[in-house]
Amino acid sequence: MGVDATHPDDLAPASLLVSAGRPPRVPGAGVNAPLELTSTYVADGEVNYARAGNPTWTAFEDALGALEGGTALVFASGMAAVAAALSLAPERGVVVAPTHAYNGTGSILGDLADAGRLEVRRVDISDTAAVVAALDGADLLWVESPTNPMLEVADVPALVAAAHERGAVVVCDNTFATPLVQQPLADGADVVMHSVTKFLSGHSDVVLGATVTAPTGRGRALQDRLAHHRLIHGAIAGPVETWLALRGMRTMHLRVERATANAAVLAERLGGHPAVERVRYPGFGAVVSIEVCGGAEAAERVSAAVRLWTHATSLGGVESLVERRRRISTEPLTVPENLLRLSVGVEDVEDLWRDLDRALRQA
Ligand SMILES: *Cc1c(COP(=O)(O)O)cnc(C)c1O
């Protein structure tokens, strides 16, 4: 369905982002993937019902799969992809996961643990020895790096090796790093998970998720289970959202490059700001977390005072967003009350700095 079998496979990420997932080059054909709005297909084809497949999904999955070096599946949201990936752990299995994983991931793990369906061990994912110590008897290692919003960075190859020695499946939430910075499947992970809502689609106009499985025997077996999960649990992506995500993904390298350059400048300047206690920035990516002097109230005042930045949750879009994460009740209590997560966009960096600097001084 819409796969271009002639697509070269030795391209750099920028070229893959632009060229993968295009329709075959037939004279007179469109250059973009079709937006196929249908619930059913004429009988006796490859797919007969749209919960099982859609040409727009295939185009998006081809592009993301090429970028991550595996086989992709698009889901209705990042959380639908998280739920599908967690279904790979056996009933009453042991899952090792970051203390500061995305709060939705933490919530679903908490619910599954409370229901007695999983044993969950939360660890500091940047402390390799602590993670390895927690891996005995584990069925699944959940890696998120950098973590949201604490920006801790994991040693992915070392964790993968330790988990595989013990027979555990490794899933890596690659939302923050993006495949431009980190390719977990190349580091040996079995499954990559994305909130496509964020950097991949990049315009804050869709909620969407994805998994990508490794081109290994184990990866293919997991792929079959994830595809089956999507088919029968039904958390399928809308074709319109999928088309928009693919459209947004075409420029991800440009957006991420600019946003990262902006973030690096802001992180550096914020480090010397009198109203900022601490800056967390892993040295790459477009998310910076700061701790504001004056506690939660001062952090709230900063969020209220910005004019170019927007006070809103989410991240990875072209527009810069600021949010005090602890206003979300499910955020771990180890995330500081005065922590503001900055999702840096692609605006002019001096305009971003002036607005933030003024808001910080007012607060
Ligand atoms: C947003 C996010 C998710 C959840 O994705 P949705 O698309 O909001 O369902 C999962 N992981 C990380 C790291 C995220 O930032």
Ligand 1 proximity of 77 Cβ (cutoff 6 Å): yes
What would the pLDDT profile of 38-51 be if each residue is shown by its tens digit?
A: 999 999 999 999 99
β-bridge pairing 310-311 and 321-324: parallel
343 CA → ligand 1 middle, Å: 14
Residue owning the nearest CA to atom 6 of ligand 1 = 78
Closest CA to 18 of 305, 230, 253: 253
Q: Of 51, 220, 307, 361, which residue is the catalytic one?
A: 51
Question: How many residues are listed for the chain in this entry?
Answer: 363
Q: What pLDDT is recorded for position 3?
A: 43
Helix, strand, or coil (residue 248): helix
| Ligand 1 mean position, distance from CA 346 (Å) | 21
CA 31 – ligand 1 centroid, Å? 30
The rounded distance, in Å, linking the Cα atoms of 302 and 298 is: 6
Residue by residue, pLDDT tens for the chain (363 residues) are 334 444 556 899 999 999 999 999 999 999 999 999 999 999 999 999 999 999 999 999 999 999 999 999 999 999 999 999 999 999 999 999 999 999 999 999 999 999 999 999 999 999 999 999 999 999 999 999 999 999 999 999 999 999 999 999 999 999 999 999 999 999 999 999 999 999 999 999 999 999 999 999 999 999 999 999 999 999 999 999 999 999 999 999 999 999 999 999 999 999 999 999 999 999 999 999 999 999 999 999 999 999 999 999 999 999 999 999 999 999 999 999 999 999 999 999 999 999 999 999 999
**Does ligand 1 lie within 6 Å of residue 331's CB atom?**
no
Which residue has the least CA distance to atom 4 on ligand 1?
Answer: 78
- Give the tens place of pLDDT for each residue, 52-66: 999 999 999 999 999
Other C-beta atoms closer than 10 Å to the C-beta of 42 total 7
Domains in the chain, ordered, with CATH?
13-249 (3.40.640.10), 251-362 (3.90.1150.10)
Q: How far apart, in whole angstroms, are the C-alpha atoms of residue 78 and residue 208?
A: 6
Is residue 268 helix, strand or coil? helix
Pocket test for ligand 1, best of 125, 151, 193, 195 (most atoms within 8 A of CB): 195
The answer to whether the CB of 188 falls within 8 A of the CB of 155 is no
* CA–CA dist 173, 291 (Å, integer): 25
User: Does the annotation count 280 as an active-site position?
Assistant: no
* Cα–Cα distance measured from residue 83 to residue 103, given in angstroms and rounded to the nearest whole number: 13
In angstroms, the CA 203 to CA 196 distance is 11
CA–CA separation, 36 and 230 (whole Å): 19
CB of 176 within 6 A of ligand 1: the answer is yes
155 is annotated as an active-site residue: no
